[in-house]
């Protein structure tokens, strides 16, 4: 996909055609986009599903085990409980 600027015509109903290469690259999983309105411009961001389980084993909680949940909470949160 090339970066750049393209001039598009907008029809009477406010529609225009997104570049095919952008659609193929950015909208492969979902056909929805977020439209962010700002003064003077619109910003389109493809909606993506994030798999939070990819990060589960990457978080360092500073303890070796959380087998005893009460013990873990005391150590992790300290005296705030």
Query: According to the model, what pLDDT value does residue 36 have?
Result: 96
- Of residues 48 and 64, more confidently modeled: 48
Structural domain contains residue 69 = no
Structural domain contains residue 13 = yes
Query: What domain range includes position 19?
Result: 1-49
What's the whole-model pTM score? Answer: 0.56
* 3-class state of residue 8 by DSSP: coil
Structural domain contains residue 60 = no
Structural domain contains residue 16 = yes
Query: According to the model, what pLDDT value does residue 54 have?
Result: 81
Q: Which of 3-7, 36-40, 64-68, 75-79 reaches the highest mean pLDDT?
A: 36-40
Distance from C-alpha of 76 to C-alpha of 71, rounded to nearest angstrom: 9
Structural domain contains residue 68 = no
Distance from C-alpha of 21 to C-alpha of 11, rounded to nearest angstrom: 21
Structural domain contains residue 14 = yes
| Ramachandran angles phi, psi of 34, nearest 5° | -85, 135
Structural domain contains residue 66 = no
How many domains does the chain fold into? 1
Q: What is the mean pLDDT of residues 54-76?
A: 76
Q: What is the pLDDT of residues 5-47, one digit of tens each?
A: 999 999 999 999 999 999 999 998 888 999 999 999 999 999 9
């Amino acid at each position: 996909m090339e970066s750049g600027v393209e001039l598009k015509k907008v029809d009477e109903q406010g529609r225009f055609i997104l570049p095919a290469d952008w659609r193929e690259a950015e909208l492969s999983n979902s056909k929805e986009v977020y439209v962010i309105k700002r003064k003077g411009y619109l910003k389109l961001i493809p909606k993506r599903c994030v798999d939070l389980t990819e990060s589960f084993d990457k978080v360092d909680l500073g303890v070796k085990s959380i087998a005893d949940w009460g013990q873990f909470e005391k150590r992790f949160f300290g005296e705030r409980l």
